[in-house]
Amino acid sequence: MTENLEVYDVVVVGGGPAGATAAHDLAKDGRKVALLDRAGRIKPCGGAIPPRCIRDFNIPDHMIVAKITSARMVSPSDHHVDMPIDGGYVGMVDRAVFDEWLRKRAADAGAERRTGLYKRLEHQDGGTTLVHYDERATDGSMVEKTVRTRAVIGADGALSAVARQCIPDADKMPFVFAYHEIVRAPKNADGLYDAARCDVYYRGTVSPDFYGWVFPHGDTVSVGTGSAHKGFSLRESVGGLREAAGLSDVETIRKEGAPIPLHPLPRWDDGRNVLLAGDAAGVVAPASGEGIYYAMLGGRLAADAIDLFLETGDVASLATARKRFMRANGTVFWILGLMQKYWYSSDKRREQFVSICRDRDVQKLTWDAYMNKKLVRAKPIAHVRIFFKNLAHMTGLASA
């Protein structure tokens, strides 16, 4: 029987940074929200959040498990380039703790949390939709539950079931498969490991089309990599990274793998009452793989669009989420996509890429853009210098 089901304004499917942020913002604005999330799932992630994210989304300091003040780029020939952050830091979060804190913040704002696995949705006459999901009963069996809603936000990851049911060609979105191991931070790693530094490895043996990372998380470390190449052993790659970073013998706490989308979908809504956010919409930055800030921004923009849709009934409101996101970040994503396609294509080019990172102009503009999430236009002479340095490397006029 569906006649007596309680009606929500919005059901948010997925409780990661995108879904939890959307649920929080909508509940805070007085909307009746259900937040549906699977239990126990943790996404593999380096855990970096820039100051812009901390500031815009009011992330408290106790959520920051490490403050990174430099990055080390490691080339195929094992050349190191250190990139210090002048007068700032990048915050690191533990996704197991951070995501749950975001979900609790949404609940504190008024969202109703439900734990279960999304199955399907059915559009009804009169503008509402039934959302079906499986919930585990006390005896361990799975029981199908149903809720009724006026709108749905699909924030259920790169292989989003909501997207695949509702958005044309969503199943064709390309992705990298990422894998990492959370290990105990060493007391002594023979100087190879620095608790205030992120190490990024650009080597074909680490990843033929992405990179590997060693990111401190306070008492723990995330060691991971990713690749779209089938047959490439991510586990063996991470084993090699652990050895290179002096982390072979430390305790392994957990292992996680998941797909990471490569670029935003061309459409995020179904033209009716369903809207995507986060990895489901494909908002992970090319080249860097950064996703937390973009997921939270996507969740906030989805909340704004859904709120406007509920207020006006105008389905065109749903498209404003993607339009606003791409207006703010489309150029950056395009540039990063070109960088990944060119610089990650061979070890020779990776060597050149790391060499370019020695340049102080490159370092300053890179950190300015990353920390503030916008292209830096205030230093035209530096941009000109970088352009010609890049051109020299790309044409072979400069050696690595």
Dist. CA 212–CA 227, nearest whole Å: 10
| Structure tokens belonging to residue 292 | 């937390």
What domains are defined for the chain? 7-44+95-172+263-333 (3.50.50.60), 66-93+173-261 (3.30.9.10), 359-395 (no CATH)
Contact 93, 101 (CB under 8 A): no
Q: What are phi and psi of 342, to 5 degrees?
A: -85, -55
Dist. CA 162–CA 169, nearest whole Å: 12
What are 251-262's pLDDT values in tens digits? Answer: 999 998 888 888
| Structure tokens belonging to residue 9 | 């304004």
Dist. CA 164–CA 310, nearest whole Å: 24
Amino acid letter for position 105? R
Question: What per-residue confidence (pLDDT) applies to 2?
Answer: 60
Question: What per-residue confidence (pLDDT) applies to 400?
Answer: 46
From the list 258, 259, 264, 257, the residue with the least C-alpha distance to 285 is 264
Question: What per-residue confidence (pLDDT) applies to 86?
Answer: 86
Q: What is the mean pLDDT of the chain?
A: 88
| Structure tokens belonging to residue 18 | 């995108």
Q: HSE of 38 in the Cβ direction (CA atoms, 13 Å)?
A: 12
Confidence of residue 53 (pLDDT cuts 50, 70, 90): very high
Neighbours of 382 (CB within 10 A): 17
Confidence of residue 396 (pLDDT cuts 50, 70, 90): very low
Confidence of residue 399 (pLDDT cuts 50, 70, 90): very low
- Please say whether the dihedral angle defined by the alpha carbons of residues 302, 38, 178 and 230, taken in this order, is positive or negative: negative
Question: What per-residue confidence (pLDDT) applies to 371?
Answer: 83
Question: What per-residue confidence (pLDDT) applies to 139?
Answer: 78
Flag whether pLDDT at 48 surpasses 70: yes
Question: What per-residue confidence (pLDDT) applies to 263?
Answer: 87
Amino acid letter for position 195? A
Dist. CA 11–CA 22, nearest whole Å: 10
Confidence of residue 130 (pLDDT cuts 50, 70, 90): very high
Question: What per-residue confidence (pLDDT) applies to 384?
Answer: 44
Contact 259, 159 (CB under 8 A): yes
pLDDT (average), residues 127-147: 89
Question: What per-residue confidence (pLDDT) applies to 288?
Answer: 83
